[in-house]
Structure 1
Amino acid sequence: MTLTQLEIFSLVAELQNFTAAAARLGISQSGVSHAMRELERELGVELLRRGQGKAELTDIGLQALRRARGMLGLAEAMRQEAADARGLRRGTLRIGSFGPTASLRLLPLLLAHYRRLHPGIEVHVDEGPDEQALQWLQQRRVDIAFAVLPDPRFVTCPLIEDQMMAVLPAGHALAAREQVALAELCAEPFALTGAGSGELVSRLFQAERLRPDVRYRCGQLLSTLEMVARGDAVTVVAELSLPSRPYVEGYVSRPLSPAVRRQVGLAILDEEEASLAARAFMKMAARLRSEGGLEEARLASAGCT
């Protein structure tokens, strides 16, 4: 078995489609099919169940995928160690990011500094919900990930703190208040966003033994804000998730009472096993934070309320 076969297997499993995997890899579909047949022949088991343009993992295929991603992660670590030996002149850094807070506010600032320091490092960014970014880190699909802290599973570096905000239609009775309690939102139709802080919002209500009247579940933050602006619902999101420019008008945001803080930072699996590129990124981010260089991210949210 080869690393190329494992890479093809991992991508086919992710996309659930041979044609899409071939397009992503820039090779023919027959090449993808051949690699998968050879891998299955060598292992003596069926890894993927083919049918109607879709490829689904078998039970043994799911187990094999975990092993394959672990092996690919170790291979990438070897490449990184070789790059480390060259003194960060070349190499790859894979970052897992989530939501506007990480991808739009923090990451551009961090990448600008990192590229000046290490122009030879190729940076890849994968975006998804916060828990998915951390799953990628555990699977070694990324070297470093943004995370909501604290998280004892990882070695972490705090970067910035914000607060959770009630988001209301501009003409809502609660919009005149300086702060809003979670309990006051339970009498209103509630929109729960699946992006970014959605899981945190659910835990906040559970901790207070409150049950919001969830009428809408939105995959994107902007669609949630549109719904609030129309007067269809209220919601709760993190302050730094709110757009710095008024893509959507007609809503206001107010801090929760009592205040609920959220801390966002970076996470790696293990400091000793992390690549030099990942450690350099975390060290640079920590220095920027201590020097106040990340305050631009916080100031960019001013005017959203």
Structure 2
Amino acid sequence: MTLTQLEIFSTVAELHGFTAAANRLGITQSAVSHALKSLEQELGVELLRRHQSQVELSDIGQQLLLRARAMLGLANTLRQEAADARGMKRGTLRVGSFGPTSSIKLLPRILQRYRAEHPGIEVHIDEGPDRQVIQWLEERRIDIGFVVLPDERFDTVALMEDQMVALLPVNHPLTARDSVSLSDLCHDPFVLTEAGSSELVSRLFNAARLTPNIRFRCSQLLSTLDTVGRGDALTVVAEGSLPELSDTRYVKKPLRPAVVRQVGLAVLDQRQASPAALAFIKLAQGLDYR
């Protein structure tokens, strides 16, 4: 069993296909097939079920994939520690990012400094909803991820905080109030954005034993803003995720009582984090995001 075989296995599992994996890894499809066949023969189990257009993991394949990713992560840490001894001249860092807050307001500033200080580190950015970033961390598909805090599943550091606000159509009766409560938001159609703080919003309503009238779910914040702007629904979002140029079609109102959101960085286990990841965290903590 080799790390190359495990990397090919992990890539095929992620992309659900031999051709896509071969293209990403820069090798031939026959090389992918040969590596997986050899791995299955050595382990004595079927890792993948082949279909016409794609492949899927067997039950034992699902189980071994987590082990394979853990081994690849540790191997990457070894390489990073060796690179650290050489001044971090080479290496790879995989970062998970969600929504406008991290992808637009935090990540670009961090990357600008990080690339200047560590030009030999190749940074891969994966973007998705906050729930997906958490899944990527748990599956070791990324080394570090932006998350909404607190999150006891990981080792975390806080970077910034902002307020959760209600977004209302400009002609909604609640716009006349200085602030609104969660209960005020349960009578109208509600749109839930799954790009950033969907888990936090859900927890807020659950803790208050309230159920919003969710009629829409949007994967992108811009779609959520457009839904509110059309007057179709209202919502709760993080103030820091809103565009700098205000939209006159909707009005933001603070929640009553106020709700603070913290955004930070998370790693699965800081003791096993690579030098590249630790350097990223240290640099991110030293920046001012105001």
**Do both share a fold (TM > 0.5)?**
yes
Deviation at 1:249, TM superposition (A): 5.4
User: 1:62 & 1:249 partners in 2: Cα distance?
Assistant: 49
Matched, 1:69 2:75: no
Higher alpha-carbon deviation: 128-137 or 106-115 = 128-137
User: 2:135 & 2:86 partners in 1: Cα distance?
Assistant: 30
What is the aligned-residue RMSD (CA, Å)?
1.7
Aligned to 1:300: none
Structure 2: gaps of 5 or more residues:
none
Deviation at 1:27, TM superposition (A): 2.6
Matched, 1:188 2:185: no
User: 1:83 & 1:262 partners in 2: Cα distance?
Assistant: 36
User: 1:229 & 1:90 partners in 2: Cα distance?
Assistant: 47
Matched, 1:56 2:56: yes
Aligned to 1:140: 140
Any residues of structure 2 matched to 1:1-305 within 5 Å, and which?
A: 1-245=1-245, 250-288=249-287, 293-295=288-290
Partner of 1:68, secondary structure, is helix
Per-residue CA distance 1:271-294 (angstroms, 9 max, x = gap):
332222222221222222xxxx21
1:73–1:139 contact (8 Å) kept in structure 2:
no
Higher alpha-carbon deviation: 125-134 or 214-223 = 125-134
Partner of 2:272, secondary structure, is coil
Counterpart amino acid of residue 270 in structure 1 = D
1:167–1:254 contact (8 Å) kept in structure 2:
yes
2:80–2:88 contact (8 Å) kept in structure 1:
no
User: 2:34 & 2:198 partners in 1: Cα distance?
Assistant: 42
Structure 1: gaps of 5 or more residues:
296-305
User: 1:139 & 1:82 partners in 2: Cα distance?
Assistant: 24
Higher alpha-carbon deviation: 98-107 or 250-259 = 250-259
Per-residue CA distance 1:27-78 (angstroms, 9 max, x = gap):
3323322222222222221111122312111111101111111111111111
1:188–1:234 contact (8 Å) kept in structure 2:
yes
Counterpart amino acid of residue 286 in structure 2 = R
Higher alpha-carbon deviation: 272-281 or 56-65 = 272-281
Aligned residues: 290
| TM-score using structure 2 length | 0.93
